[in-house]
Amino acid sequence: MLKFLSKPFRQLTIPASDREFYRSLKHILGYSPDNLEIYKLALIHRSASVIISPGQKFDNERLEYLGDAVLDAIVADFLFGEFPSGDEGFLTKMRSKIVSRNSMNQLAVSIGLPNLIMVSNGALNHQKYIYGNALEAIVGAMFIDKGFKFTSDVVINNFLRQHINLDELQAIEHDYKSKLLEIAQKHHVKVTFDTHAINTEKQSPHFEAILFWDENEIGRGSGNSKKEAEQGASKQGIDWLEKNILSNSDE
Amino acid sequence: MLKFLSKPFRQLTIPASDREFYRSLKHILGYSPDNLEIYKLALIHRSASVIISPGQKFDNERLEYLGDAVLDAIVADFLFGEFPSGDEGFLTKMRSKIVSRNSMNQLAVSIGLPNLIMVSNGALNHQKYIYGNALEAIVGAMFIDKGFKFTSDVVINNFLRQHINLDELQAIEHDYKSKLLEIAQKHHVKVTFDTHAINTEKQSPHFEAILFWDENEIGRGSGNSKKEAEQGASKQGIDWLEKNILSNSDE
């Protein structure tokens, strides 16, 4: 009853304490959110999590898990439509460029999300991808609040098309080897590649690269060219370094 | 005009040559597909791909890319609802059990998909996950034909709830180390773990395991216990073996 009044008067039904939050959120997302509580949850980093009872905590990690998967599907669908003759390898590569932690973090900053995130100061200094993770959680919240189609339209039209340049992205070839050599130089460590052809029963020539950080093997890669194999090994090596060495230093 | 007639009389509008395919598909999926062509495409394995012009081929790989992402989102959402107090680690683990290549392959067989797949005989002998991949492509086709909500309902109600037992799945702990030792025995190769505590500035104790296949390092893992670290290294090792050794043998 009188339901037709609800939309124009929505703001009147929002508690005074939430109106500022509602306005900021609406401004950032470009639409009127319905279930404010779920968006609030999406913005609580685990460093600021609310413990309800043992084993029960309120923070954005479950929503981040959900939003991450929803975002992947949205971006996969978006690229499927944008590149009707792009093959699955190309599409997969483009997708991982768009949803990379770096790119999501930048996107979160571009749309102005950081101001709304609840996080302890300590965590902000240590963890690099808080903003991008919160953006994923917001996508999860949006999906619960408004469904897939609506979320997909918002993500594509308000976020991706406004802030991501597909032509530029296409041109970027992630050069993991250069990045690795840079890290090595900074840490004064020698890196070497053992790269060699391997015999397989497959038709195409195949190479394998083994990457050593000082004397320790930290990555392997393979591919149809030496370059591809070394890129693969470098990517694995960077992942390993990020987990085991870079995350402990104060960068 | 006369649009209201279209549904009951749909079968009359399907070319005679497609009616058998339409019936089988409807039986397997549990609903009436609209755009038959997209489902046909989903069932063409690349070994049977149709080359239209240089660089343009018709097979199910693009749809598999799309369906894989859509399926991830559906399963993520499903588990989010089924386990309201499961944390993101648990949910992620459960999801990867459900969408694992093995589990998807089994699901494809359970719903009777193999009969419909177009594949060259040679490929069937060599590639283990053709059925599961085709199932992913079918999910991609369904998504294009009917949208996310519909696809999600079909996947959850007709596939997951009928063929996947969440309680059983929860009980399964993937034991990668046992699987690795099994493979090693079969190939008469000695595997060893170098597992040790590592000093980090983090609060919790941390272990690292390095896995050697003969003399070659093929995996690393880390975790809060030796067991966890060795499981991680074994998982990485199995991935490596699958890419580099097992895929070349005739199993």
Interatomic CA distance for residues A15 and A12, integer angstroms: 8
In a domain, B74, yes or no: yes
Which pLDDT score is estimated for B6? Answer: 53
Which residue type does A75 have?
V
Residues of B in contact with A149 (CB under 8 A): 147-149
DSSP letters, B110-179, are HTT-GGG-B--HHHHHH-TTHHHHHHHHHHHHHHHHH-HHHHHHHIIIIIIHHH--HHHHHHPPP-HHHH
Please give the residue that has the higher pLDDT: either A251 or A187. A187
One domain, residues A164 and A180: no
Give the mean pLDDT of A128-148: 95
Best mutation target among B88, B151, B204, B241 (most A Cβ atoms within 10 Å) is B88
Q: Which of A59, A68, A208, A230 is catalytic?
A: A68
Place of tokens 């990867």: B96
Give the mean pLDDT of A24-45: 94
Torsion sign across C-alpha atoms B172, B236, A89, B250: negative
Place of tokens 């959402």: B77
One domain, residues B88 and B155: yes
Q: Confirm or reject contact between B73 and chain A (CB < 8 A).
A: yes
Torsion of CA A109, A113, A116, A120, to 10 degrees: -40
Interatomic CA distance for residues A130 and A114, integer angstroms: 9
Determine phi and psi for B165, rounding to 5 degrees. Answer: -100, 105
In a domain, B12, yes or no: no
One domain, residues B164 and B193: no
Which pLDDT score is estimated for A243? Answer: 78
One domain, residues A98 and A130: yes
| Residue B197 belongs to domain with CATH number | 3.30.160.20
**Active site includes B59?**
no
One domain, residues A67 and A187: no
One domain, residues A127 and A208: no
> Cβ A62–B217 below 8 Å, yes or no?
no
Ligand-binding annotation for A136, yes or no, is yes
One domain, residues A27 and A142: yes
* Final residue before a domain boundary, out of A171, A186, A201: A171
In a domain, B48, yes or no: yes
Which pLDDT score is estimated for B176? Answer: 86
Residue pair B75/B139 in contact (Cβ under 8 Å)? The answer is no
| Residue B130 belongs to domain with CATH number | 1.10.1520.10
**Active site includes A182?**
no
Chain A closest-CA separation from residue B153 CA (Å):
13
Give the mean pLDDT of A100-127: 86
Interatomic CA distance for residues A210 and B240, integer angstroms: 13
Q: Which domain holds residue A84?
A: 19-171
* Final residue before a domain boundary, out of B111, B142, B171: B171
Q: Confirm or reject contact between A92 and chain B (CB < 8 A).
A: yes
Q: Which of A142-146, A196-200, A213-217 is predicted with the least confidence, judged by mean pLDDT?
A: A196-200
* Final residue before a domain boundary, out of A171, A198, A231: A171
In a domain, A183, yes or no: yes
Which residue in the set A73, A85, A143 is minimally distant from B72, CB to CB? A73
Which residue in the set A65, A91, A147 is minimally distant from B149, CB to CB? A147
One domain, residues B161 and B208: no
Q: Confirm or reject contact between B153 and chain A (CB < 8 A).
A: no
Q: Which of A20, A24, A36 is nearest to A114 (CA)?
A: A24
One domain, residues A152 and A196: no
Which residue in the set A56, A147, A240 is minimally distant from B220, CB to CB? A240
> Cβ A61–B88 below 8 Å, yes or no?
yes
Q: Which of A159, A181, A49, A46 is nearest to A111 (CA)?
A: A159
Q: Confirm or reject contact between A148 and chain B (CB < 8 A).
A: yes
Structure tokens at A191: 């890196």
Query: Which portions of chain B are predicted below pLDDT 50?
Result: 1, 5, 249-251
Which pLDDT score is estimated for A109? Answer: 94
One domain, residues A104 and A216: no
- pLDDT by residue (tens digit) across A142-189? 999 999 999 999 999 999 999 999 998 888 766 788 889 888 888 888
Q: Which of A43, A152, A165 is nearest to A103 (CA)?
A: A165
> Cβ A76–B70 below 8 Å, yes or no?
yes
Q: Which of A132, A9, A151, A164 is nearest to A64 (CA)?
A: A132
CA distances B3 to A106, B10, B35, B36, B181, Å, are 48, 11, 16, 19, 62
In a domain, A28, yes or no: yes
Which pLDDT score is estimated for B225? Answer: 82
In a domain, B1, yes or no: no
Which pLDDT score is estimated for A128? Answer: 75
In a domain, A136, yes or no: yes
One domain, residues B34 and B136: yes
Q: Which of B49, B46, B57, B56 is nearest to B127 (CA)?
A: B46
Structure tokens at B165: 């037992």
Interatomic CA distance for residues A113 and A105, integer angstroms: 10
Chain A closest-CA separation from residue B12 CA (Å):
31
Q: Which of B136, B145, B208, B230 is catalytic?
A: B136
Instruction: Report the mean per-residue pLDDT for chain A.
Output: 86
Instruction: Write out the E strands in chain B.
Output: 50-53, 56-58, 191-198, 206-213, 216-223
Residue pair B238/B176 in contact (Cβ under 8 Å)? The answer is yes
In a domain, B251, yes or no: no
Q: pLDDT class for A9, splitting at 50, 70, 90?
A: low
Beta bridge partners of B206: B198
Structure tokens at B31: 């609903």
β pairing state of B206-213 and B216-223? antiparallel
Interatomic CA distance for residues A63 and A44, integer angstroms: 10
Which pLDDT score is estimated for A204? Answer: 57
- pLDDT by residue (tens digit) across A51-97? 766 666 788 999 999 999 999 999 999 999 999 989 898 999 899 89
Q: Confirm or reject contact between B147 and chain A (CB < 8 A).
A: yes
Domains in chain B, number: 2
Give the mean pLDDT of A25-44: 94
One domain, residues A73 and A26: yes
